[in-house]
């Protein structure tokens, strides 16, 4: 029964192969996207840290995204 399901009348190799390739491609895309996001978060945090205290405070208060990025960035360090 399981043998028939896995072989899928002779098409199993193509079906399971395409599933494997799809999952691999999605995993690779996820990894590259996550890596790029972390790079941009580090660059953003570095730019914010170069600002004066008053300007930094104003940016964080006015931007919800900036405060979220900085809080998530500080957790990873």
pTM: 0.67
Side-chain-side CA neighbours of 21 within 13 Å: the count stands at 6
pLDDT digit string, tens, across residues 5-61: 888 888 999 999 999 999 999 999 999 999 999 999 889 888 888 888 888 888 878
Instruction: Provide the angle, in degrees to the nearest 10, between the axes of the packed helices 64-76 and 53-62.
Output: 110
Structural domain spans, the chain: 13-76
């Amino acid at each position: 029964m399981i043998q028939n399901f896995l072989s899928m009348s002779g098409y199993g190799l193509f079906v399971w192969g395409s599933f494997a390739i799809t999952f691999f491609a999605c995993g690779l895309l996820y990894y590259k996207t996550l890596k790029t996001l972390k790079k941009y978060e580090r660059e953003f945090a570095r730019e914010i840290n170069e600002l004066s205290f008053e300007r930094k405070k104003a940016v964080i208060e006015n931007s919800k995204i900036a405060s979220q990025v900085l809080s998530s960035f500080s957790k990873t360090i």
